[in-house]
Amino acid sequence: MTGVLRGVVALDGPSGTGKTTVARKLAATLGAGFLDTGAMYRVVTLAALDAGVDPADAEAVAALAERVRVDVATDPGAPGARLDGTDVGEAIRTARVDAAVSAVSAVPEVRELLVRGQRAIIAETVERVGGIVVDGRDIGTVVAPEAPLKVFLTASSEVRAARRGAQDTAAGRPVDQAAVLASVQRRDELDSTRATSPLRPADDAVELDTSELSIEQVLTALTELAGHRGLLDQDVRGARAAEACR
């Protein structure tokens, strides 16, 4: 038995490093909760687009974020996102949301609002099941700076674009690989240079380049890191407690 996670694992990194897939699999393997914070920003972005709000209009976006209800699942076996009670898990992964999410996530009021929600979800999940794996772009630096394990995943922009293109193809969406690469590079620039909570590794984060690693190899590396930090409880009773997350 690998063990059951006790505490918070923070996974940060740019788009296409595999962090959401790995975070979900790690949480499932370790009997923990799972939080995809990026999905929350995507839900607000979708709400803005559907309401005809210009993503570049920070004041209007902030006002809209206060009005809508954003819900994300913490069960790694059934991830999902809802906007005002409606399932938007597929709608938030479209190209139009990809193009606008950086602008929306750069709005300070939106980040403040969602970070409060993320911290509440983390606290509730840890209290309920003992541990949670959280992925995003500012988890180790802003959302959960006290997390005992922080990992910053990286990969070359070309590798990340190829992965994103493969995901779109698998989902039946048309792919222009050159456009995907340009989008990845554009988002890197926007996320790393924004004034509020820019994308960067925490000072005490472990950096892991996933360019040449499979998902299983990354999962193994993260599990070993969690074990080295003393975050894995071998008590089988912990596994039963994790069922509350299902």
The 10 Å CB-count burial string (b at 16+, else e) for 187-216 is: bbebbeebeebebebbeebbebebeebeee
207 residue type, one letter: E
Torsion 115-215-75-78 (CA) sign: positive
| Tokens linked to 171 | 């989902």
Q: Tell me the Cα Rg of the chain.
A: 17
Euclidean distance between CA atoms 176 and 98, whole angstroms: 14
CA nearest neighbour of 197 among 74, 83, 73, 108: 108
The domain segmentation of the chain, as residue ranges, is: 4-245
**CATH class of the region 4-245:** alpha beta
Length of the chain: 246
Per-residue pLDDT of the chain (246 residues; tens, 9 = 90+): 478 999 999 999 998 888 999 999 999 999 999 999 999 999 999 999 999 999 999 999 999 999 999 999 999 999 999 999 999 999 999 989 989 999 999 999 999 999 999 999 999 999 999 999 999 999 999 999 999 999 999 998 899 888 888 877 887 878 788 888 888 888 888 888 888 888 899 999 999 999 999 999 999 999 999 999 999 997 644 444 445 445
Q: Are strands 33-36 and 131-136 parallel, antiparallel or unpaired?
A: parallel
**Token pair in block for residue 38:** 């990026």
- Contact (Cβ atoms closer than 8 angstroms) between residue 197 and residue 138: yes
